[in-house]
Amino acid sequence: MNQPREPIFNIPSSVVATVALLGLIHAIRELVLTPAQAQRFLLLFAFIPARYDATMLPGGVLPGGWGAEIWTFVTYALIHADLTHLGFNAVWLLPFGSALARRFGALRFFAFLAVTAAVGAAAHLVTHPGKWELMIGASASISGTMAAATRFAFQRGGPLVARYSERSDHVPAASLGAALRDYRVLAFLGVWFGLNILFGLGSVPLFGGEQSLAWQAHIGGFLAGLLLFSAFDPNRTQVSHDGESTHH
């Protein structure tokens, strides 16, 4: 008798749709739009800190006006510089995004991606006021999924502790306090922050040194995922640092 396929290999449709959308947008930008149209597309949908500083804008406004000041907090995450950039983000989205999508459901998952992207953009804006450099890429949201996954992945029966089953992504999550007392979570946080700072400061080249890393946005998305996890989690039971279950 054949064994049923393990759920860990079944990528949720919401994650498949996200990757497909990212790929479609990149294909249209590279293969359909003219260079002038592609440039305008970036000015409309990439995140540009100078957009929020009137003294930096020639003629007083960028394409999109006040609407772009709102939607670019999210739309920048749908655009990627090249196939390497897109592929790198997709590779990380598949495991961490799938775990969250199975736990949250599609609507909460999409909302989570949008919120972590927006917080990442806000962190970038605060640290790069008035800058003209365009920020694109889903890394802030993906960083958020990585942080959120630490709240349940290391728990008893979780996907990083026990043999994977349909219940692995639905185990009670650790409270924030309990997560920050778990040496495994702290080790993960240390490695993640360390790598981002090394890449961001240029100590380690990224993709051959051809692209810079918006590491402040990554940290913003990561912290948002860690801190806001409970607001999106439909399972309201959390495990405190003393092992007791609480309901929120």
Angle between helices 13-27 and 106-127 (to 10 degrees): 50
Query: 220-244 pLDDT, tens per residue?
Result: 999 999 999 999 999 866 665 555 5
pLDDT at 3 over 50: no
DSSP string, 97-164: HHHHHHHH-HHHHHHHHHHHHHHHHHHHHHHSTT----B--SHHHHHHHHHHHTTTTTSTTSTTTS--
Query: 151-161 pLDDT, tens per residue?
Result: 998 887 766 55
Give the pLDDT band of residue 206 (cuts 50, 70, 90). very low
- Dist. CA 80–CA 26, nearest whole Å: 7
Running DSSP on this structure, what letter comes out for residue 189?
Answer: H
The verdict on residue 170 lying in a domain is yes
Look at the block and give the residue holding tokens 């000041």. Answer: 69
Angle in degrees, CA 22, 96, 118, rounded to 5: 55
The whole-number pLDDT of residue 1 equals 44
Question: Position 216: which residue type?
Answer: Q
Tally of domains in the chain: 1
The verdict on residue 3 lying in a domain is no
The verdict on residue 236 lying in a domain is yes
Give the pLDDT band of residue 54 (cuts 50, 70, 90). confident
CATH code at position 181: 1.20.1540.10
The verdict on residue 4 lying in a domain is no
The whole-number pLDDT of residue 235 equals 80
The whole-number pLDDT of residue 111 equals 98
Q: Which domain holds residue 226?
A: 11-247
The verdict on residue 202 lying in a domain is yes
Which strand ranges, in their side-by-side order, compose the sheet holding 245-247? Answer: 173-174, 237-239, 245-247
Q: Choose among 221, 248, 223: nearest CA to 234.
A: 248
The verdict on residue 106 lying in a domain is yes
Length of the chain (residues): 248
Query: 7-28 pLDDT, tens per residue?
Result: 445 799 999 999 999 999 999 9
Angle between helices 139-149 and 83-104 (to 10 degrees): 40
The answer to which of 68-77, 91-100, 107-116, 169-178 has the lowest mean pLDDT is: 169-178
The verdict on residue 2 lying in a domain is no
